[in-house]
């Protein structure tokens, strides 16, 4: 207890030093814990299901003859689950999940509320994905065609004061009976929903088919399956099943993917990225090491100031072991404080961090005893790492030298310290480089002309409007002076997903067939988005009347992009009027438009077709006049919508948000990078500060001599900073090629990206250099200004 | 050359002044060789530091070659210092990381001399003090006497008019001490003004005049 008291007394005595030391270590620990929380969150995806190691998801891959790689889909045909279950003894159970209409309207009293997490599932769904059933029928809650299982959150929303079991929930005018309530889903799951509806009544499952894919399929496998053998059996099955397609050049395959690997490893359904996980794990660890190194450096630089105390202790008979113990204890107090501060600040910062990176991290590790045990282990390791070495060095001081004032430890010139500093700077500069490039790329994405004008476009839900209603609304809206145009389409034009195939029997290439992305559009689509027409004409009223025709022989006006025309081998002018087929839709090419990006900039522009089809429009677009006051315009739109659909919720967003959503992962990563680049540079600067202060202390006498010999302050500052600036330069030279490689690889993810401009590297280097210089210049200046008569005293 | 008028220097200890230098009046002419003697704490070193422009008095006037040192800009003062004053220390204060040659060269670098100029000056000094053979050695490889010779050579590199020495023989045995004193005598005969602080009566005798100090005053 006595040594602990002395430890506290010493810390209090050297408050400034102790604060810097503890704070920098605490900062490192906080960053490490925050990043660990993020990494842990990403790694635990879907592991909460008790059978998770036996649950697999079936995803599909399709490759056309001239495609380089497969296109991966998370969806599979309806026939897959039942046939797989029959075919493969490895499968205990196979279930499907199908999207309910994106915008279900659920009644709550007289109100209707839009819900978008509703899914149709097979009756055994909860036997495979075993979410915890809190109330209601836990055996077969989805056995009846009108059964609905809702999450706790939904239960609270629609049945705030009553027990929902057995009650009716009206969805789009159809009554469903609540049969069970399940626990809310955690944030770390790829399978998201708010309610599960029995799919028993659905027509589409009466006659299952292999021709289109719209269902998620989950398998519960038997224990101890040889997954490789199983996968090759599935491959053989797929080859057999799609023999005809293979002849046409299409390869179709089904991948069995473990549910817990979906998030980070699945190309078909994963929203995460393992590379980023490695980066963040490395970053967290590096930050911890850097701050532990700082702790060592600071403690050592401070130790010389206490050399006299130690010498006196030793002369008084303290054994080396005792001195070692004393310093370890002092270190332990500081490391302990840093750890506590780190934990507390992590606790407070986690929600902020989580909001900042837009990943809802919620961890319940605080109640887990393993967490505390690992923290204890962490404490012991950190203590030995951070204060073991200083304690050892200090306890080896020779008292006689110290008392004679000849203390000359070579630590400042010590190559290990320099290597550590250089390492810190490598990481700092690397992060600064990454941050700058990521920032530039994000800026590029924001400002690149994608060939489609996204500005001032409001997106409304389209699926609640019937054709007639929508047209009434459009007419009403067009009367407003603030509105330039109104249109609609199937999905968002910044992310068109429909996979179709285009055929033509006309022109040079008869029997031409190719994969094409396509989207049903409303008449004014092209003018709303300012997509330039190269040849032909925009859609007119006649085209729309034809489009509304539902007979088999209807003719559909088809618009294709320049690339499609080039691939077929026509000029844009030649293409006009040529007959083409798109999945059963026949018609002449009405217009050829310039290429525009209809997916993220990660992908090259591909062939795309647009055709009028007034069947389902998911989105309605309202283009505001450039000079319109958007706030006022939105109010006007709302009043029009409310007048026509008084019960429907008025929800809107800007198209720019859809666009930004495409780069969510990159945005997140960039934000984390920015934050931690800042932290790393700061921590590295603290380290540099410590070691340079230590070096200046060691060279006090030399500086005094040089001053007496006529050295100017500027010369001495140069002398003192030179060594460390050199380290930063070395770090820069080491890091540039690494940064170049990393950024080259990262930018390769984007089909459209910035160049690796050399001046960005230079800026990264300069920024780090200037910050480092400012960090140590103050110290050096102070040392250079000191009067030499004090350092050169002969007594 | 040096004129000190009513020089006072003190510390404030609990409201009362504790004098280190008390009304020092002193004139030293060019070509003088002065030894300052006195017990520890009598103010010898402080006086030397004031003369050497490393320390400032709290009161009084100091003229160096008819220029008012205390009312001079720092830059001018350091110029004056650089071109006229050389320092020799009791514990030599050579820079451990530099060779004998580089140690002597250092003040010349700070005077911004070209490397050829430096080379000729350093060679002359090495010659003059008979240490040509030791030019590539480091201070730790030399005896105390040799180190002090290097220290003196370095002090003379800038061809100063005034050489200040604070106990130059304090760390040397008597034979080495004698050699250094002989060297000083020789330098003085060559026209260098020397002020040395010493404890040894014998060494003080080498000077042309002796100042005795006690409690901050000249006796």
User: How many Cβ atoms sit within 10 Å of the Cβ of residue A71?
Assistant: 14
Tens digits of residue pLDDT in B147-165: 999 999 999 898 899 999 9
Question: Searching chain A, which residue's CA lies closest to the CA of residue B55?
Answer: A789
Residue among A380, A382, A372 at smallest CA distance from A22 = A382
What value does the mean pLDDT of chain A take?
A: 85
The answer to whether residue B192 sits within a structural domain is yes
CA pair distance A431, A417, nearest whole angstrom: 21
CB-based contacts of A766: which residues, under 8 Å, 6+ apart?
Answer: none
CA pair distance A612, A417, nearest whole angstrom: 70
A788 touches chain B (CB under 8 A): yes
| Inter-chain touch B170–A789, beta carbons under 8 Å | no
User: pLDDT-based confidence at A408, cuts 50/70/90?
Assistant: low
State how far residue B52 is from chain A, nearest Cα, in angstroms.
9
Q: Please say whether the beta carbons of A390 and A647 come within 8 A.
A: no
Percent of chain A with pLDDT over 90: 27
User: pLDDT-based confidence at A333, cuts 50/70/90?
Assistant: confident
Q: Please say whether the beta carbons of A562 and A605 come within 8 A.
A: no
Question: Searching chain A, which residue's CA lies closest to the CA of residue B47?
Answer: A789
A299 pLDDT above the threshold of 80: no
Task: Give the pLDDT of residue B81.
Answer: 85
Q: Which of A383-387, A475-479, A482-486, A596-600 has the lowest mean pLDDT?
A: A383-387
Number of domains in chain B: 1
Which residues of B make CB contacts under 8 Å with A? 49, 54-55, 78, 81-82, 87, 89-91, 93-97, 106-107, 110-111, 154, 158, 166-167, 170
A406 pLDDT above the threshold of 60: no
Nearest-CB residue to B110 (from A710, A788, A789): A710
CB-hemisphere CA count at 13 Å for A47?
A: 8
Nearest-CB residue to A705 (from B55, B93, B166): B93
* Domain positions in chain A: 55-222, 420-448+662-795, 465-644
User: How many Cβ atoms sit within 10 Å of the Cβ of residue A69?
Assistant: 8
Please name the residue that has the structure tokens 């770390």.
A188
Nearest-CB residue to B90 (from A706, A712, A794): A794
Task: Give the pLDDT of residue A314.
Answer: 72
CA pair distance A26, A30, nearest whole angstrom: 6
| Inter-chain touch B93–A715, beta carbons under 8 Å | no
CA pair distance A326, A363, nearest whole angstrom: 37
CA pair distance B155, B147, nearest whole angstrom: 12
Nearest-CB residue to B91 (from A708, A712, A794): A794
Average pLDDT, integer, range A19-34: 89
Residues of B in contact with A789 (CB under 8 A): 49, 54-55
| Inter-chain touch A789–B90, beta carbons under 8 Å | no
Radius of gyration of chain A (CA): 34
Best to test chain B binding among A702, A707, A710 (most B CBs inside 10 Å): A710
| Inter-chain touch B107–A715, beta carbons under 8 Å | no
Question: Searching chain A, which residue's CA lies closest to the CA of residue B91?
Answer: A794
CATH number for the domain that contains residue B170: 3.40.50.300
User: How many Cβ atoms sit within 10 Å of the Cβ of residue B30?
Assistant: 12
State how far residue B53 is from chain A, nearest Cα, in angstroms.
10
Best to test chain A binding among B11, B43, B51, B93 (most A CBs inside 10 Å): B93
A792 touches chain B (CB under 8 A): yes
| Inter-chain touch A710–B154, beta carbons under 8 Å | no
Report the residue count for chain B. 219
CB-hemisphere CA count at 13 Å for A145?
A: 6
Residues of B in contact with A706 (CB under 8 A): 95, 106, 110
Q: Which of A196-200, A365-369, A413-417, A713-717 has the lowest mean pLDDT?
A: A413-417
User: How many Cβ atoms sit within 10 Å of the Cβ of residue A671?
Assistant: 18
Best to test chain B binding among A698, A699, A709 (most B CBs inside 10 Å): A709
CB-based contacts of A752: which residues, under 8 Å, 6+ apart?
Answer: A444, A448, A597, A601
Best to test chain A binding among B54, B113, B138 (most A CBs inside 10 Å): B54
Proportion of chain A in helix, strand, coil states, percent, rounded to 5: 50, 20, 30
B85 pLDDT above the threshold of 80: yes
| Inter-chain touch B49–A789, beta carbons under 8 Å | yes
pTM across the whole model = 0.76
Residues of A in contact with B9 (CB under 8 A): none
Residues of A in contact with B112 (CB under 8 A): none
Tens digits of residue pLDDT in A551-606: 777 888 999 999 998 888 888 998 898 888 888 888 899 999 999 998 888 888 88
Average pLDDT, integer, range A428-441: 90
Task: Give the pLDDT of residue A403.
Answer: 57
Backbone angles phi, psi at A77, to 5 degrees: -65, 160
Task: Give the pLDDT of residue A411.
Answer: 47
Nearest-CB residue to B93 (from A701, A711, A712): A701
CA pair distance A416, A412, nearest whole angstrom: 9
Nearest-CB residue to A709 (from B49, B54, B106): B106
Q: Bigger pLDDT: A102 or A139?
A: A139
Query: Using CA of residue B158, residue B163, residue B167, residue B173, what is the dihedral sign?
Result: positive
Tens digits of residue pLDDT in B15-52: 888 899 999 999 999 999 999 999 988 889 899 989 98
CA pair distance A624, A639, nearest whole angstrom: 16
User: How many Cβ atoms sit within 10 Å of the Cβ of residue A602?
Assistant: 15
| Inter-chain touch B54–A715, beta carbons under 8 Å | no
Q: What is the dihedral of CA A746, A748, A751, A756, to 10 degrees?
A: 80
Best to test chain B binding among A407, A698, A705, A712 (most B CBs inside 10 Å): A705
Residues of A in contact with B166 (CB under 8 A): 794
A96 pLDDT above the threshold of 90: yes
Residues of A in contact with B55 (CB under 8 A): 787, 789
Average pLDDT, integer, range A406-418: 56
- Which residues 658-717 of A have a C-beta within 8 angstroms of B? 701-702, 704-706, 708-712, 715
Average pLDDT, integer, range A747-773: 90
CA pair distance A14, A7, nearest whole angstrom: 11
A274 pLDDT above the threshold of 90: no
Q: Please say whether the beta carbons of B201 and B169 come within 8 A.
A: no
DSSP code for A185: P
Three-class SS state of A18: helix
A286 pLDDT above the threshold of 80: yes
Q: Please say whether the beta carbons of A761 and A736 come within 8 A.
A: yes
Backbone angles phi, psi at A683, to 5 degrees: -65, -40
A365 touches chain B (CB under 8 A): no
A550 pLDDT above the threshold of 80: no
Domain range spanning residue B210?
30-56+73-218
A8 pLDDT above the threshold of 80: no
Query: Using CA of residue A23, residue A28, residue A32, residue A35, what is the dihedral sign?
Result: positive
A192 pLDDT above the threshold of 70: yes
User: pLDDT-based confidence at A243, cuts 50/70/90?
Assistant: confident
Q: Which of A31-35, A461-465, B128-132 has the lowest mean pLDDT?
A: A461-465
State how far residue B23 is from chain A, nearest Cα, in angstroms.
22
A404 pLDDT above the threshold of 60: no
A165 touches chain B (CB under 8 A): no
State how far residue A783 is from chain B, nearest Cα, in angstroms.
16
Query: Alpha carbon of A555 to those of A514, A548, B145: distances in Å?
Result: 20, 10, 111
Residues of B in contact with A794 (CB under 8 A): 89-91, 166-167, 170
Please name the residue that has the structure tokens 């206490």.
A306
Cα A516 off chain centre by: 29
State how far residue B111 is from chain A, nearest Cα, in angstroms.
7
CA pair distance A581, A565, nearest whole angstrom: 14
Task: Give the pLDDT of residue A412.
Answer: 44
Alpha helices in chain B (DSSP H): 44-51, 74-84, 100-110, 115-128, 144-156, 174-189, 201-204
A111 touches chain B (CB under 8 A): no
């Amino acid at each position: 207890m006595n040594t602990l008291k002395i430890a506290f007394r010493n810390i209090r005595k050297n408050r400034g030093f102790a604060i810097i030391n503890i704070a920098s270590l605490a900062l490192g620990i906080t960053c490490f814990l925050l990043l660990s929380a993020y990494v842990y969150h990403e790694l635990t995806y879907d592991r909460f299901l008790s059978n998770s190691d036996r649950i697999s998801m079936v995803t599909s891959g399709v490759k056309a003859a001239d495609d380089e790689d497969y296109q991966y889909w998370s969806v599979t045909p309806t026939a897959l689950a039942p046939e797989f279950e029959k075919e493969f003894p490895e499968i205990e159970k196979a279930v499907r999940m199908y999207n309910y209409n994106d915008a279900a309207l659920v009644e709550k009293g007289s109100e209707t509320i839009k819900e978008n997490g509703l899914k149709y599932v097979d009756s055994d769904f909860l036997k495979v994905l075993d979410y915890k059933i809190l109330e209601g029928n836990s055996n077969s809650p989805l056995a009846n065609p009108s059964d609905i299982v809702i999450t706790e959150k939904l239960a609270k929303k629609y049945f705030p004061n009553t027990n929902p079991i057995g009650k009716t929930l009206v969805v789009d005018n159809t009554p469903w009976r609540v049969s069970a309530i399940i626990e809310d889903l955690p944030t770390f799951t790829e399978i998201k929903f708010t309610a599960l509806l029995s799919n028993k009544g659905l027509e589409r499952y009466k006659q299952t088919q292999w021709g289109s894919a719209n269902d998620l399929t989950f398998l519960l496998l038997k224990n101890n399956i040889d997954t490789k053998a199983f996968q090759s059996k599935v491959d053989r099955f797929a080859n057999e099943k799609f023999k005809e397609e293979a002849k046409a050049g299409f390869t179709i395959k089904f991948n069995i993917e473990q549910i817990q690997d979906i998030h980070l490893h699945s190309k078909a359904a994963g929203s995460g990225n393992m590379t980023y996980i490695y980066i963040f794990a490395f970053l967290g660890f590096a930050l911890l090491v850097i701050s532990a190194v700082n702790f060592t450096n600071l403690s050592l630089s401070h130790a010389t100031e206490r050399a006299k105390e130690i010498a006196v202790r030793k002369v008084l008979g303290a054994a080396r072991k005792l001195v070692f113990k004393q310093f370890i204890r002092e270190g332990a107090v500081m490391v302990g404080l840093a750890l506590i501060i780190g934990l507390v600040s992590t606790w407070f910062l986690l929600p902020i961090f989580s909001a900042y990176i837009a990943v809802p991290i919620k961890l319940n590790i605080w109640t887990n005893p393993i967490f505390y045990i690992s923290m204890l282990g962490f404490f012991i390791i950190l203590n030995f790492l951070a204060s073991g070495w200083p304690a050892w060095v200090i306890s080896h001081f020779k008292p006689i030298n110290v008392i004679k004032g000849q203390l000359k430890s070579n630590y400042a010139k010590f190559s290990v310290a320099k290597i550590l500093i250089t390492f810190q700077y490598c990481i700092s500069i690397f992060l600064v480089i990454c941050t700058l490039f990521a920032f530039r790329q994000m800026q590029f994405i924001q400002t690149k002309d994608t060939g489609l004008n996204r500005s001032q476009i409001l997106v409304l839900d389209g699926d609640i409007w019937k054709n007639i209603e929508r047209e009434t609304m459009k007419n009403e809206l067009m009367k407003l002076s603030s509105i330039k145009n109104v249109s609609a389409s199937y999905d968002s034009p910044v992310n068109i997903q429909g996979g179709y195939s285009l055929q033509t029997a006309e022109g040079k290439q008869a029997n031409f067939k190719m994969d094409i992305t396509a989207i049903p559009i409303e008449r004014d689509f092209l003018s709303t988005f300012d997509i330039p027409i190269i040849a032909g004409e925009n859609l007119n009223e006649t085209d729309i009347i034809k489009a509304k025709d539902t007979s088999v022989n209807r003719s559909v006006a088809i618009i294709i992009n320049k690339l499609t025309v080039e691939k077929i081998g026509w000029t844009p002018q030649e293409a006009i009027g040529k007959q083409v087929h798109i999945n059963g839709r026949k018609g002449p090419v009405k217009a050829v438009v310039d290429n525009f990006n209809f997916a993220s900039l990660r992908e090259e522009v591909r062939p795309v077709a647009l055709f009028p089809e007034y069947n389902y429009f998911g989105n309605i677009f309202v283009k505001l006049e450039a000079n319109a006051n958007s706030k006022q315009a939105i109010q006007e739109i709302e009043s029009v919508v409310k007048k026509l659909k008084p019960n429907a919720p008025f929800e809107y967003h800007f198209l720019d948000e859809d666009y930004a959503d495409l780069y969510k992962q990159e945005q997140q990563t960039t934000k984390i990078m920015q934050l931690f680049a800042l932290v790393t540079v700061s921590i590295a600067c603290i380290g540099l500060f410590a070691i340079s202060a230590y070096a200046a202390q060691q060279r006090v006498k030399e500086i005094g001599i040089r001053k007496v010999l006529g050295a100017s302050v500027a010369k001495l500052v140069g002398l003192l900073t030179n060594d460390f600036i050199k380290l930063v330069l070395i770090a820069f030279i080491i890091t540039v090629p690494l940064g170049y490689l990393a950024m080259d690889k990262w930018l390769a993810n984007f089909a459209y990206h910035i160049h690796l401009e050399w001046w960005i590297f230079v800026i990264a280097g300069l920024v780090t250099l200037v910050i480092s210089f400012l960090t140590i210049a103050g110290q050096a200046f102070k040392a250079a200004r000191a009067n030499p008569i004090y350092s050169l005293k002969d007594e | 050359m040096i004129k000190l008028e009513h020089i006072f220097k003190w510390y404030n200890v609990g409201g009362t002044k504790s004098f280190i230098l008390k009304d020092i009046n002193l004139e030293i002419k060019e070509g003088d060789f002065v030894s300052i003697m006195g017990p520890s704490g009598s103010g010898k070193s402080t006086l030397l530091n004031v003369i050497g422009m490393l320390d400032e008095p709290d009161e009084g006037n100091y003229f160096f070659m008819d220029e008012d040192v205390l009312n001079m800009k720092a830059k001018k003062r350091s110029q004056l210092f650089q071109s006229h004053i050389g320092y020799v220390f009791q514990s030599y204060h050579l820079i451990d990381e530099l060779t004998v040659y580089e140690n002597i060269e250092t003040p010349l670098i700070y005077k911004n001399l070209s490397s050829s100029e430096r080379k000729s000056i350093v060679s002359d000094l090495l010659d003059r003090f008979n240490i040509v053979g030791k030019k590539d050695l480091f201070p730790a490889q030399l005896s105390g006497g040799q180190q002090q010779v290097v220290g003196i050579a370095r002090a003379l590199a800038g061809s100063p008019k005034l050489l200040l020495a604070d106990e130059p023989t304090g760390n040397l045995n008597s034979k080495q001490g004698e050699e250094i004193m002989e060297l000083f005598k020789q330098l003085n005969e060559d026209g260098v003004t020397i002020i040395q602080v010493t404890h040894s009566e014998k060494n003080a005798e080498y000077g042309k005049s002796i100042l005795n100090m006690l409690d901050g005053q000249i006796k």
